[in-house]
Structure 1
């Protein structure tokens, strides 16, 4: 009986040694933390904006001083909109304006204000628009206690996508859009490979979340997908004295 106990003890000790050796071997074969560290490429340093100051790598499209980065969308002449108190104001009947520079994927910051004097209703109240690549409209409208069709209110992709919420401030108050845009891709034969997508943050509130843009903005009919390259940022004259300021863009 004593010999049997000794044999059992030796067996236990042997198994313990083997198990420890196995665990040690497994530990030896474990990858080191450094194996999953990536050091290159190193992201470039960008100084964040402060207040109304844009990030250090942004292209300033409008700083309140002049229209040097803009032309008439109709004929390429100097814009006929008004400059007032550091903002550009739509001058009714003068037409849309567009940036001289064109863009593909980008991050756009733009501030806008509808008139403090409320006139009209629905689509006739503080109406304008921001056209990405001159084709795809993010609607600008006084949608504060102003009911209209949902895919035409402020923050909609006009006649396409309803905003997640209505984050409008009161008429006469400055509002912000921060827009992240991925341009569509087209194949060699002009067919659509991947649609445009857009994220819109309105006054700090997410209202379009990586939303698919189905094609061009059309007032009547369905969107169209016609192959194109880079395009400008176009601001719409819809007959209402909407103001814009502090416009900057980052190419992505």
Structure 2
């Protein structure tokens, strides 16, 4: 039998526990500290200063100059990378494809880039469809941005100027006449591969042709093959940029890029 004294003790303990529980319950809400403008300001590190070109389309201060009309020191033959680029420099101004000699490629290798290039069809307008002013800009030596005289020149839509060749057609055709110069401004994000060689993230590209958007953060499906479906067949890293010899005297000038 529980004594009267024990009953009193138990009652006092229960009262104490209840009081403790009440004391340790959820604390009252505390108002958050008011935000101040400086709490969301980021000051360091300071943004790098790059001096823009005086003329639109010319190279900014941090660009790598691939061709400015003076020499082909940044390029070699695609047939034999130990030999100099075999194309012709005209009037210390522009570069002309020498048909039959093969393409040319950069000595340096690149991944993510911003690139500017200007091109023109041969001075003598001849041929049709893919036979008129044809060349190509190959990123990482594999993925072709088509170069073609597409001014009043009908061809398959994913093979005209501004197309990711045999993959994605350009949004619009903004090519100038064959005796005028055209420009591409390219933002290219290289493909990423996993450790086991599978694609982690495909290559992506944005292109402005003559200042007009023709590829808008477009996914590149894989190797831009002339025949067959496009897919990534092997893992690779940075690689050269190449210009194609397609047996047309296509012309180039003012080529530069920035690593991203």
- TM interval, short-chain normalised: 0.7 to 0.9
What residue number does 1:169 align with? 176
Q: CA separation in 2, counterparts of 1:92 and 1:115?
A: 11
In the alignment, is the contact (CA less than 8 A) between 1:116 and 1:173 conserved in 2? no
Residue 148 (structure 1) aligned to one of 147, 155, 162 = 155
Residue 134 (structure 2) aligned to one of 117, 121, 127 = 127
Structure 1 position 105 matched with structure 2 position 112 = yes
Q: CA separation in 1, counterparts of 2:36 and 2:196?
A: 49
3-state SS in 2 of match to 1:123: helix
What residue number does 1:234 align with? 242
Q: TM-score, normalised by structure 2?
A: 0.85
3-state SS in 2 of match to 1:190: coil
3-state SS in 2 of match to 1:34: helix
**Equivalences for 1:1-252 in 2 at 5 Å?**
29-51=33-55, 53-76=58-81, 77-85=83-91, 86-225=93-232, 226-252=234-260
Query: Which runs of at least 4 in structure 1 moved beyond 2 Å after TM superposition?
Result: none
Structure 1: 5+ residue stretches without partners = 1-24
Deviations 1:200-231 (A, max 9, x none): 00000000000000111100001131210101
Deviations 1:110-134 (A, max 9, x none): 0001023220100000000000011
Deviations 1:3-55 (A, max 9, x none): xxxxxxxxxxxxxxxxxxxxxx97x9421111111112211000001225410
Q: CA separation in 1, counterparts of 2:110 and 2:130?
A: 29
3-state SS in 2 of match to 1:218: coil
Query: C-alpha root-mean-square deviation of aligned residues, in Å?
Result: 1.3
In the alignment, is the contact (CA less than 8 A) between 1:185 and 1:196 conserved in 2? yes
Q: TM-score, normalised by structure 1?
A: 0.88
What residue number does 1:8 align with? none
Q: CA separation in 2, counterparts of 1:78 and 1:175?
A: 26
- Number of aligned residue pairs: give it: 227
Q: CA separation in 2, counterparts of 1:171 and 1:63?
A: 21
In the alignment, is the contact (CA less than 8 A) between 1:128 and 1:141 conserved in 2? yes
Please tell me whether Structure 1 or Structure 2 has the larger radius of gyration of its CA atoms: 2
What residue number does 2:19 align with? none
Q: CA separation in 2, counterparts of 1:53 and 1:195?
A: 30
